[in-house]
Structure 1
Amino acid sequence: MRGMELRDARVHYGPLEALHGVTLAAPAAALTVLIGRNGAGRTTTLRALAGTVALSSGAVLRDGRDVTRRTAHERAAQGLCFVPDRRAVFASLTVAENLGLSHPAGGPARALDAYPELRPLLSRRAGTLSGGEQRMLALARALLSGAGVVLADEPTQGMSPGVATRTYALLGALDACVVLAEQRLPPALREGAGRTAVVHELRRGAVVFSGEPGELRARP
């Protein structure tokens, strides 16, 4: 299968087991959304896919190949872009410098077309931006990366409703395996943002539902 998979993945933080044998698939052709309350395991699942936390047992697969032992740096070098919920930009660099790191061979035109709000901020240091502006910058960097896998933790946090809707459309249009972590399914994704959507609901470190958005809404 093209895309990302976890198979019977377990993650420990010290004595605490955060993921209890999670198995889920994020097909490349779909937009995958991990939902659940804080502490449900959404962020840990993303970090396991990205390689920023190690599995205690189980496996991570990309396009059917086992990448469990590959470091986060190696996965990034092979076309995986992870946008964490915090510290997703280089605070001491300007907006222009952040964008330049993502696509050094070309200009930031694509990112600025997606987020024109960043144009007057190009000379500003990223650490001085508002929370929503930093999320725009982080997602703009992901758009420029050309990554085959994009993982984003609460991508629209701090954004206005209009910018959030635009962001989901941009993510849905990427030619990539896209996995998002959200507390609940956003209205803009209920119809798949223009592409097939897959939802995995986590609760206390385990998957309690996997299916399409319509199936999730039909649950009691």
Structure 2
Amino acid sequence: MLRVEDLHVSYGAISALNGISLSVPAGAIVTLIGGNGAGKTTTLHSLSGLIRAARGRVHFAGEDITALAPHHIVARGLCHVPEGRMIFANLSVAENLAMGAYLQRSPAQIAAARDYCFSIFPRLRERLRQNAGTLSGGEQQMLAIARALMSRPKFLMLDEPSLGIAPRLISTIFEKIVEINRDHGTGILLVEQNARLALEISTHAYVLETGHIVMSGPSRELRNNAQLKAAYLGS
């Protein structure tokens, strides 16, 4: 579904990604873990067209999307839920969801997508007329994911979905990610500092350090890797 080949990204003279390659099979959850400054967010920004790669290729569903603008990438079914949620704080929950459907033209499909969002996140139905900026951190993350789902994506990229959320809601958010993947076979590339949780729900993982992929493999194997456990799992 997603294939990245030899991706290089720089911010001026500073190199952020140094030839990373990764792939996500259709219907899989793959996680990208690493410390602060490793290049995780830069990876997602480059895949969604927000940052231009200096070198390398990005293929999605068999098409080279490396040079496409972000809205064309979304139109092809690849949607990005950014770090920090980036909801429209002064708009209502309903208006945020409508913004997520801006490329959709069928009222029936928009209604179906909204109903699906409410089935995944019932709390959003209760907050429909509430300004998004007044929601809790967990509710804002639910809204950010639901807004992406309104585009009816084939593939989701989630950047730090547990960031700034009360601990009691983190497991709920991860359960919902698994549910979204299971319901429609939506592929997911998950960037997450909570490596333990990310490895529990994913099938495959890549470890990124200073712009390089330094380790990869099935998540169940990496959970038991002594080096990874010492660096990221607290044991």
Query: TM-score with structure 1 length normalisation?
Result: 0.89
Provide closer, same or farther for how the CA distance between residues 55 and 134 of structure 1 changes in structure 2, counting only shifts above 3 A.
same
Unmatched segments (≥5 aa) in structure 1: none
* Matching residue of 1:165: 174
1:17-166 equivalences in 2 (<5 Å): 17-103=15-101, 105=107, 106-107=110-111, 108-157=114-163, 158-159=165-166, 160-166=169-175
Identity of aligned residues (%): 38
Question: Residues 144 and 186 (structure 1 numbering): CA distance in 2 closer, same or farther, change over 3 Å?
Answer: farther
1:171/1:178 contact within 8 Å kept: no
Q: Compared with structure 1, are the counterparts of its residues 191 and 71 closer, same or farther at alpha carbon in structure 2 (3 Å cutoff)? A: closer
Unaligned runs of 5+ in 2: 227-235
Hey, what's the Cα distance between the residues in 2 that align with 1:33 and 1:91? 28
Which residue matches 1:179?
189
Give a deviation string over 1:70-105, Cα, whole Å, max 9, x none: 111211122221110125322221001112333462
Matched, 1:4 2:2: yes
Structure 1 distance, partners of 2:198, 2:216, is 19
CA distance in structure 2 between the partners assigned to 1:28 and 1:156 by the alignment: 24
The aligned residue for residue 190 of structure 1 is 200
TM-score relative to the length of structure 2: 0.83
Q: Deviations over 1:111-166 (max 9, x none)?
A: 11211122221111112222221111011122332111211101233151342232
Question: 1:179–1:136: structure 2 CA closer, same or farther, 3 Å change rule?
Answer: same
> Given that residues 33 and 191 in structure 2 are in contact (C-alpha distance below 8 angstroms), is that contact kept between their aligned partners in structure 1?
yes
- Partner Cα distance (2:128, 2:55) in 1: 44
Letter in structure 2 aligned against 1:121: R
Q: Is the 8 A contact 1:36 1:203 kept in 2?
A: yes
How far off its partner does 1:219 sit?
1.6
Name the Cα RMSD after superposition: 1.9
Q: Which runs of 4+ in 1 moved over 4 A?
A: none
Contact 1:21–1:206 (Cα < 8 Å) also in 2 = yes
Contact 1:90 1:127 in 2 (8 A): yes
Taking a change above 3 Å as real, the CA distance of residues 219 and 162 of structure 1, as seen in their structure-2 partners, is: closer
* Aligned counterpart, 1:13: 11
Alignment size in residue pairs:
214
CA contact (8 A) 2:91 2:132 kept: yes
Task: Specify which of 187, 201, 216 is matched with residue 210 of structure 1.
Answer: 216
The answer to whether the 8 Å contact 1:148/1:176 transfers is yes
| Separation of aligned partners in 2, 1:87 and 1:135 | 6
Which has the larger displacement, 209-218 or 51-60?
A: 209-218
Opposite residue 185 of structure 2, the aligned amino acid is: D
